[in-house]
Amino acid sequence: MRIALTCAMVVVVSVSIAEPLSEAEQRWWLRHVIPLPRQAEIIDTRQLPANGVAVCVAPGASDVTQAGAALLAAALKTQVASEGPAGSFRLLVGTCDDTGKMGDLVVPQAVGLSELKNSDQAYVIVRLGPDEMVLTGLTERGVYYACLTMAQLAGWQVREDGLTLPVVSITDWPDLQERGEWGGNCASDIEWMSARKMNLAEVHC
């Protein structure tokens, strides 16, 4: 008598899942941002090759929004593009309305921006897909500040062969509508001040 034996082969596939960053690691990243965002979480990081990130500006963006996108692209040593090359991590930059809509795109985390103090300068930076983050605010000023934050947060991790990009969830707004200096060296400090979200310089003749 013959007995037929059926062998089942089980293949175990190991999937690499990014571990959440510890509080100490998140503080290490955020120490490079001045001023600190009001609400910030560094979810994980992505190792990307050179030109592996694309800064994409939403259609109809203002000059200020485009200037913020250009500043961010320069910090990440990449280019501003409409879509970005295939396989790149996209940073989509543009304003939204008070329902969180950027054209056809909905950013749920942006819905409450209008309720924040000085909401015209508020912004969010959030992940919307596996290879996409959105930098948005109700006005071009908020979007510009979002670009400044992302440039500070990731710019120092750019190398010749690529970069380490932090994947974040940030909501930020200023307590004071006007921030800056009066007299002294403020006229020569404007570039330094504006890079740190200060927006007022008073100089008297």
Q: What pLDDT digit, counting tens, does each position of 73-100 carry?
A: 999 999 898 777 778 899 999 999 999 9
Instruction: Give the C-alpha separation, 36 to 34, whole Å.
Output: 5
> Mean pLDDT throughout 165-182?
94
Instruction: Give the C-alpha separation, 54 to 33, whole Å.
Output: 21
Give residue 17's pLDDT band: very low, low, confident or very high (50, 70, 90): very low
Per-residue confidence (pLDDT) for residue 18, from 0 to 100: 52
pTM, whole model, 2 decimals? 0.86
Instruction: Give the C-alpha separation, 83 to 71, whole Å.
Output: 18
Cα separation values, 89 from 1, 50, 67, 128, Å:
62, 11, 20, 11
Instruction: Give the C-alpha separation, 122 to 151, whole Å.
Output: 17
Q: Using DSSP bridges, classify how beta strands 158-159 and 89-95 pair: parallel, antiparallel or unpaired.
A: unpaired
Q: Please, which residues have CB within 8 angstroms of residue 92's CB and are 6 or more apart in sequence? A: 56, 58, 102, 105, 128, 132, 133, 134, 135, 136
CA dihedral of residues 173, 175, 177, 178 (deg, nearest 10): -110
Task: Please tell me whether residue 166 adopts helix, strand or coil conformation.
Answer: strand
Per-residue confidence (pLDDT) for residue 190, from 0 to 100: 86
pLDDT at 163 over 70: yes
For 29, phi then psi, to 5°, come to -70, -45
Instruction: Give the C-alpha separation, 148 to 61, whole Å.
Output: 17
